[in-house]
Amino acid sequence: MQDDQDDRIALAYTWPSYQTYKAFSSDAKNDEELSKWCIYWIILGFFLTLESFADRIIWWLPLYHESKLICLVLMWHPRINGAQYVYSHFVQPLLSKHESMIDSTLAEAQARIAGTLFGHLNQVTSQIMSHGGLILEHMRAFSERGQPGANGASQHIE
């Protein structure tokens, strides 16, 4: 099982990451090559999302894990370039059709998350402000416990 995971990391992440790096950092940037790798990462995101559900349902199928690895290689392999096909025939039309709804849902979720985080941050800040002296006293007492000579412990004898 670990060998499958190592193969997956090498073939689905390491190789495409390095190729993306080469396309991005090249002196003669190739927009077509950059676009190819951006599309791969978009498709990989969708693949991983679908995989999280499929792993719970069809994990028991023979050669299931090997099939996933083959699909990932087919997505970036230069002769097949499956990510481009999946993107142009399925993902791009789907996202274009629902883009405004997705954007508004994400904006609402972002606002809710930010509100929740700031609410918790305000609670923590108010607790620190109202109990700051007590917290500092506990910290001082805790740090003194480990000091030699504090509270009669660890006296140095010459």
DSSP string, the chain: -HHHHHHHIIIIIIHHHHHHHHHHH-SS--HHHHHHHHHHHHHHHHHHHHHHHHHHHSTTSTTHHHHHHHHHHHHH-TTT-HHHHHIIIIIHHHHHHHHHHHHHHHHHHHHHHHHHHHHHHHHHHHHHHHHHHHHHHHHHHHHHHTSTTGGG-S----
Say how many C-beta atoms besides its own lie within 10 A of residue 148's C-beta.
8
Q: pLDDT tens digits, residue range 86-136?
A: 999 999 999 999 999 999 999 999 999 999 999 999 998 888 888 877 878
Q: What is the pLDDT of residue 151?
A: 54
Give the whole-angstrom CA distance, residue 154 versus residue 158: 13
- Taking the domains of the chain in order of start, what are their residue ranges? 2-98
Mean pLDDT of the residues in the chain: 85
Can you give the pLDDT at residue 113?
A: 95
Q: Enter the pTM of the model.
A: 0.66
pLDDT higher than threshold 70 for residue 27: yes
**Highest-confidence range of 20-24, 42-46, 146-150, by mean pLDDT?**
42-46
Alpha carbon distance 82, 53 (integer Å): 21
Residue 158 has pLDDT above 50, yes or no: no
CA R_g for the chain: 27
Percent of the chain with pLDDT over 90: 45
Two structure tokens written together for 121:
């941050």
Higher-scoring residue by pLDDT: 151, 102: 102
Q: Compute the distance between CA of residue 117 and CA of residue 54 in angstroms, rounded to an integer.
A: 32
40-45 mean pLDDT:
94
pLDDT of residue 74: 92
Pick from 16, 14, 23, 68: nearest CA to 42: 16
